Homo-oligomer: A and B are copies of this chain.
Amino acid sequence: MIKRFRGESLHKVDAKGRVSVPAAFRRVLEDGDPDFSGSSYPNFVVVYGGVRGNCLEGYTITSITKVDNLISKLPRFSRDREMLERFINTQSTYMQLDETGRIVLSPRLKEIIGIQDEAIFAGMGEKFQIWEPKKYQKEVAELDVSFKSLSENENPFLKLDQLQD
């Protein structure tokens, strides 16, 4: 059974930029790295580009590969493809967990999402996000509000049941 990124948790970011990745997420990263063996530490990808810029997004090797393959289907010299490659390939970086399950966020990455000394990790199924706590709270609150304002036939939960499975 494929594990997905689930749950939220708050972690300290120390002076060197080190943060613990939630233990539950490590298991998912291990599963999602084809080259991972018990004796190594899993690799994965952090994307900082894209429309948002509010948060970082972490992908397992397996799931970023899916995205890469979709992009590769676009016409080679199309503007769409260039855009996506800029966001997903250019503005991203490989990372590796260290022995204690931490990664280091460079000053650049911290600056992009406005992080000081705390970060929130949020599971999003095939990926996870890293947020500055206050921004995250705001995001969740806004989502709740906009959810409540939806009409019945805009409700994404109800739309789900219309999909064939």
Contact = CB atoms under 8 A, between A and B. Distances in A.
Contact of A125 (B6, B85, B122): B85
A70 B4 CA distance: 14
Interface in A87-120: 87, 89-94
B124 A156 contact: no
A67 B124 contact: no
Contacts of A70: 76, 160, 163, 165
Given A65-B1, A165-B66, A92 B6 contact: yes
Contacts of A159: 80
B67 A76 contact: yes
A68 B147 contact: no
Interface string A124-135: 111000000000
B71 A160 contact: yes
Interface string A47-82: 000110000000001000111111111101100111
Interface string A1-26: 10111111000000000000000100
A86 B143 contact: yes
Interface of A: 1, 3-8, 24, 33-35, 45, 50-51, 61, 65-74, 76-77, 80-87, 89-94, 122-126, 140, 143-144, 146-148, 156-157, 159-160, 163, 165
4 closest A-B pairs by beta carbon, nearest first, are A80-B156, A7-B93, A89-B125, A90-B122
